[in-house]
Amino acid sequence: MALRIGVFVCDCGTNIAGFLDVPKVCEYAKTLPDVVYVKENMYTCSNAGIQEIMDAIKKHKLNRVVVAACTPRTHEALFRKACEDAGLNKFLFEFVNIRDQCSWVHQKEREKATEKAKDLVRMGVARARLLEPLKEIKIDVEKKSLVIGGGIAGMTAALSLAEQGFEVYLVEKENRLGGLLNYINQIYPSDANAQQFLEEIVKRVEKEKKIHVLLNSEVESVDGYIGNFNVRIRQKKESKEIKVGTIIVAIGAKPYEPMHMYNYDEYENVITQFELEKILKEKGKIDAESVVFIQCVGGRGERVRYCSRICCMNSIKNARIIKKMMPNANVYIIHKGMQTYGTEYEEYCRKAREEGVRFIRVRDAVPTVTSLEKKDGRIAVGFYHPGLRRKVEIQADLVVLSTPLIQREDAKRISQMLKVPLGQDGFFFEAHVKLRPVDFATDGIYMAGSCRAPASIDECIMQALASASRAAIPMAKGYVEAEPLMPLIDESKCMGCGVCVEVCPYGAMKIVEKNGKKVAENIPAACKGCGACGASCIHKAIKMHHFADEQIMAQIEEAI
Amino acid sequence: MKGVLVIGGGVAGIQAALDLADRGIHVYLVEKEPSIGGRMALLDKTMSTNDCSICILAPKMNECFSHPNIEVLEYSEVIGVEGKAGNFKVKVKRKAKYVDATKCTGCGDCMEKCPTEIPNEYNSYLDKRKAIFLPFPQAVPRKATIDERYCLKLTKNRCGLCQKICKAEAIDYNQKDKIIELNVASIIVAIGSSLYEPKDLVEYGYGRYANVHTWMEYERLINAAGPTHGHLKCAPDGRRPKKIAFIQCVGSRDVKRCQWCSSVCCMVSIKSAMLANEHYGDLESYIFYSDLRVFSKRFYEYSKRGERDYKITYIHARPGEIKEDKRTKNLIIYYEDENEGKVKELEVEMVILATPIMPAKDVKQLAEILGIETNEYGFIKVKDYVFHPVETTREGIFVAGCCERPKDITESVVQASAAAAKAAEIAGLVEG
């Protein structure tokens, strides 16, 4: 069939049209071989633009569509769908990036930008000519989920999934559920009794027939892909295999231990917030007339770079408890800006002020206080007071260090096992900071709670419910569709060397024996079509669907 | 299976609708404006990645509109709810657009010819729009709407130009409001928020000084699709500023006004200052703050980057007053410098006020219709802040986004998914 290519060039309002000559690019596109239709749109992504693509496919019998616009990152799926809705195989669509990679970076070079856009369109058209129709793959999804971590986030996610009708394996490495919540005295901002709440939720989890609680257990290995994860779980000396469709990571975090900081290991009345929490929970009292809370110990550039989010509220909570027990005690919080955002937290902070907790704001510099000295059984806490513009000392009987939550040791192992990334801060890295905050980039794997970033109990619960919603989508649907961008392996050329297996970041390649010969095989549902296997195959046995050598060579030839 | 009603088509409503629809549940998405998108559609860039807001939202808006399981009811309002969890009967008023949506192509010819210009609420009233309009270029659906309050034909039976010009013959002055009835298992409320207008804070001169703006006005000023095409201009001569100041907590954390912390403003100001510096490399910014609230993932690092790479100076002070230089229209900020302990002056060309997120204007009315409660701040009340963060006080009705309390896009999306999980439980029970 003769090639009939349609080219749509987007103004993106002024994002593109403001910096290069779109009509000229359109005129040029008309001169390219096999191009039978060219259209300029103010916004190709608008409903009207989409409609124009669909109408043109039908009216002009287009069998290839090229859109020159913003970026495939955000808009490829939309244009592909327009093609599909108009009856054109969506893999016959080609995206040319003339905004992010052209108009935006050449804002002061109108003519050159126009020439570059023409080059890019020519390259796109060259590739479009060689595109082949492909078919999406449908994969069944196992309607069971694995939740790693039995803390508040893991339990909440498991309960929500169960209530939505799915079976859940809840894996906890300790001998009891609850995670960090086991050590917490009260929950802010409602001051609910943490242990009472924990007891109730554990009871609910244990009673729920759809949840299989596996204590003293660790996930040993995970193979497979969305809908079909084969998971090996070790429970003491036994090992068992389960199959699940989705995985939620909720392994929590742990408080940083401030060794060799703020005389923590020297003075016994210098303790961490976490230790104070335990004392309050177990003894319900402390012996001190003057208590100083020091914020950001180890956080905000001291040992870790980030702000740990929950420590300000924790200090206020415990300061209020102390003030309530001992109204005459002097309670100070030395901070670098209280993080009491929103409605209830701000109110909580205001109440603390009214009750006599004293807040002292110091500069956002490291360290928060400059000296801790033992004097007559008390500790002199020294710091520069910006308001007074001099060094000040407060005598304390108890110094409480607010240390950040940090990632657990096994985060690295789990990230490698699931092939999901950790960020610079050591916490799990989401697919998109704003629009996919509890998803991993790898399909079928989600996260919740403090393993994503420090989070309060209410935030853990919220994220857990969100991750349960996300995980439920493929399970409720019962299947997923995978893009057919996977490699095609020429078994006559493949030597079974296994290089592709090693380089594949998604665990989507394996070596199998076929007719007495070792050859590579692709797992379509796990494959992201990245092409690492194709590029690394020294025997040229791997052809990438949709990114075939000849398609890419055609683009390069047009470029040079 | 009975569907779910989502009220509000901002990012929270869109996310909730998509989560539910993707798993096979039918969703009605009611939006009172002519386009979905909400406030996020009107923001320029989003913190902490500086992604273009509409660029990341537009695909979701389109996905929503074209989703086989989602019925978008734009320009509509919920006017009555009966029944209970699992079986709500909802009355929705579909306001007349006076445009046949099946015929309108969104070409814009009518808007060009319409003679009636009115202040444009979608650009924070900084420019004008026509009586027949699209809220913004990426509107979904991209269909014109006639504002019956201002249209000459509808108010005075004059004009009629749009009907003459429309090649698609889509204009229908006789269209009437329609009431439709829906039967749903559960409801998610995601109606968003309003913003505080700092007119009573006379010391900052908002409304009196030409170069004092709110943060939402700034979002439109720095946006390429905004009234100045993204160029910052100062009165009286349209010169571009070299120094800008941002003042935090204008109206918030204030027992006489909004008691709460608006959660997002510190980051919004840092982002805004970064964008200004990206536009003009020599531009300096000063952020006057009480507590710089940069608590979420990568936010603190972002604030430090602003200081290091974008010529931002953070000043811990609450300015007492701003005065305007009558000739230059420059603004002189009076504040106490804590390093020296005395009142100082800083002259800048533009001041941006970080005004708080407030409950939506119609929240009380809607709460009454839905039979749910609002809290002491006027936001929609949840059953329990910690343990039931998406349940309202009425069973089967859930909440997400800024109508519950001020929050950023990430947290709105998280809460929207959480609400979807809960709404799905009920929809599932009905099915079972």
CATH number at residue B233: 3.50.50.60
* Contact assignment for B225 to A14 by CB distance below 8 Å: yes
Q: Where are the alpha helices (DSSP H) in A241-310?
A: 273-282
Does residue B159 lie within any of the structural domains? yes
Q: Say if residue B50 is in the same domain as residue B187.
A: yes
Does residue B170 lie within any of the structural domains? no
Residues of chain B with Cβ-Cβ distance to A469 below 8 Å are: 19, 417-418, 420-421, 424
- Residue in B124, B151, B113, B105 with CA at minimum distance from that of residue A47: B105
A481 touches chain B (CB under 8 A): no
Predicted local distance difference test score (pLDDT) of residue B432:
43
Pick A346's closest partner by Cβ from B259, B296, B409.
B259
- pLDDT category of residue A528 using cuts at 50, 70 and 90: confident
Instruction: Give the domain range for residue B203.
Output: 198-356
Pick A347's closest partner by Cβ from B259, B409, B415.
B259
Residues of chain A with Cβ-Cβ distance to B66 below 8 Å are: 81
Residues of A numbered 398-427 whose beta carbons fall under 8 angstroms of chain B's beta carbons: which are they? 423, 425, 427
* Contact assignment for B19 to A427 by CB distance below 8 Å: no
pLDDT in tens, A28-63: 999 999 999 999 998 888 778 899 999 999 999 999
Backbone angles phi, psi at B212, to 5 degrees: -105, 125
Task: Mark which of B326, B356, B386 sits at the end of a domain.
Answer: B356
Q: How far is B174 from chain A (nearest CA, A)?
A: 25
At B251, the amino acid letter reads G
Q: Is the pLDDT of residue A521 over 90?
A: yes
Pick A343's closest partner by Cβ from B260, B338, B340.
B260
Does residue B101 lie within any of the structural domains? no
Question: Which residue of chain A comes nearest to B138, CA vs CA?
Answer: A46
Does residue B260 lie within any of the structural domains? yes
Residues of A numbered 490-509 whose beta carbons fall under 8 angstroms of chain B's beta carbons: which are they? none
Residues of chain B with Cβ-Cβ distance to A452 below 8 Å are: 297
Pick A338's closest partner by Cβ from B63, B291, B420.
B291
Predicted local distance difference test score (pLDDT) of residue A225:
87
* Contact assignment for B23 to A347 by CB distance below 8 Å: no
> What mean pLDDT do residues A121-128 have?
97
Q: Say if residue B232 is in the same domain as residue B304.
A: yes
Does residue B100 lie within any of the structural domains? no
Q: What is the pLDDT along chain B (432 residues), one digit of tens a residue?
A: 789 999 999 999 999 999 999 999 999 999 999 999 999 999 999 998 898 999 899 989 989 998 999 999 999 999 999 999 999 999 999 999 999 998 887 778 899 999 999 999 999 999 999 999 999 988 999 899 999 999 999 999 999 999 999 888 899 999 999 999 999 999 999 999 999 999 999 999 999 999 999 999 999 999 988 999 999 999 999 999 999 999 999 999 999 999 999 999 999 999 999 999 999 999 999 999 999 999 999 999 999 999 999 999 999 999 999 999 999 999 999 999 988 889 999 999 999 999 999 999 999 999 999 999 999 999 999 999 999 999 999 999 999 999 999 999 999 999 999 999 999 999 876 554
Does residue B103 lie within any of the structural domains? no
pTM of the model: 0.89
Q: Say if residue B215 is in the same domain as residue B328.
A: yes
Q: What is the DSSP string of A259-312?
A: TTSTTTTT-TTEEEHHHHHHHHHHTS----SEEEEE--SSTTTTSSSS--SSHH
Task: Mark which of B333, B356, B379 sits at the end of a domain.
Answer: B356
Cα separation, B15 vs B407, in Å, equals 15
Length of chain B: 432
Q: What is the DSSP string of A25-47?
A: HHHHHHTSTTEEEEEEES-TTSH
* Contact assignment for A477 to B22 by CB distance below 8 Å: yes
* Contact assignment for A437 to B413 by CB distance below 8 Å: yes
Residue B89 exposure: Cα atoms within 13 Å on the Cβ side? 4
* Contact assignment for A13 to B137 by CB distance below 8 Å: yes
* Contact assignment for B418 to A387 by CB distance below 8 Å: no
Pick A469's closest partner by Cβ from B375, B377, B417.
B417
Residues of chain B with Cβ-Cβ distance to A70 below 8 Å are: 55
- pLDDT category of residue A136 using cuts at 50, 70 and 90: confident
Q: Say if residue B49 is in the same domain as residue B181.
A: yes
Cα separation, A121 vs B186, in Å, equals 48
Question: Which residue of chain A comes nearest to B297, CA vs CA?
Answer: A453
Task: Mark which of B356, B382, B399 sits at the end of a domain.
Answer: B356
**A/B interface, count of CB pairs below 8 Å:** 216
**Which one of B288, B414, B415, B429 would you mutate to disrupt binding with A, by most A Cβ within 10 Å of its Cβ?**
B414
- Residue in B370, B396, B369 with CA at minimum distance from that of residue B3: B396
Q: Say if residue B414 is in the same domain as residue B302.
A: no
Predicted local distance difference test score (pLDDT) of residue B430:
59
> What mean pLDDT do residues A443-469 have?
97
A509: Cβ contacts below 8 Å, ≥ 6 apart: A487, A500, A501, A520, A521, A522, A523, A533
Computed over every residue of chain A, the mean pLDDT equals 94
Pick B386's closest partner by Cβ from A165, A192, A346.
A192
pLDDT in tens, A249-298: 999 999 999 999 999 999 999 999 999 999 999 999 999 999 999 999 99
A457 touches chain B (CB under 8 A): yes
Complex ipTM over 0.85: yes
* Contact assignment for A469 to B316 by CB distance below 8 Å: no
Domain total for chain B? 3
Q: Say if residue B263 is in the same domain as residue B408.
A: no
Cα separation, A500 vs A531, in Å, equals 10
Q: Say if residue B343 is in the same domain as residue B370.
A: no
Predicted local distance difference test score (pLDDT) of residue B142:
85
Pick B142's closest partner by Cβ from A46, A423, A465.
A46
* Contact assignment for A46 to B138 by CB distance below 8 Å: yes
Cα separation, B241 vs B211, in Å, equals 10
SS3 category, A382:
strand
Predicted local distance difference test score (pLDDT) of residue B431:
54
* Contact assignment for B316 to A192 by CB distance below 8 Å: no
Does residue B228 lie within any of the structural domains? yes
**Which one of B14, B26, B51, B261 would you mutate to disrupt binding with A, by most A Cβ within 10 Å of its Cβ?**
B261
Structure tokens at A459: 């935030």
Residues of A numbered 301-340 whose beta carbons fall under 8 angstroms of chain B's beta carbons: which are they? 301, 305-307, 309, 337-340
Q: Looking at beta carbons, which pairs linking B238-241 to residues 24 or more positions away fall under 8 Å?
A: B239/B349, B240/B280, B241/B211, B241/B276, B241/B280, B241/B283, B241/B348, B241/B349, B241/B350
Q: How far is B277 from chain A (nearest CA, A)?
A: 16
Q: Say if residue B68 is in the same domain as residue B48.
A: yes
SS3 category, A350:
helix
Q: Say if residue B352 is in the same domain as residue B364.
A: no
Q: How far is A318 from chain B (nearest CA, A)?
A: 18
Does residue B395 lie within any of the structural domains? yes
Predicted local distance difference test score (pLDDT) of residue A215:
97
3-class SS shares of chain B: helix, strand, coil, % to 5: 30, 30, 45
Q: Say if residue B347 is in the same domain as residue B364.
A: no
What element of type H or E holds A344?
Answer: helix A344-354
Q: Is the pLDDT of residue A320 over 90?
A: yes
Residues of chain A with Cβ-Cβ distance to B300 below 8 Å are: 300, 305-307
SS3 category, A190:
coil
Length of chain A: 560
Q: How far is B28 from chain A (nearest CA, A)?
A: 18
**Which one of A14, A16, A40, A47 would you mutate to disrupt binding with B, by most B Cβ within 10 Å of its Cβ?**
A47
**Which one of A307, A425, A480 would you mutate to disrupt binding with B, by most B Cβ within 10 Å of its Cβ?**
A307
Strands A144-148, A246-249: pairing is parallel
Predicted local distance difference test score (pLDDT) of residue A484:
86
Q: Say if residue B141 is in the same domain as residue B226.
A: no
Q: Say if residue B46 is in the same domain as residue B90.
A: yes
Task: Please check whether residue B94 is in contact with residue B77, taking contact to mean a CB–CB distance below 8 angstroms.
Answer: no
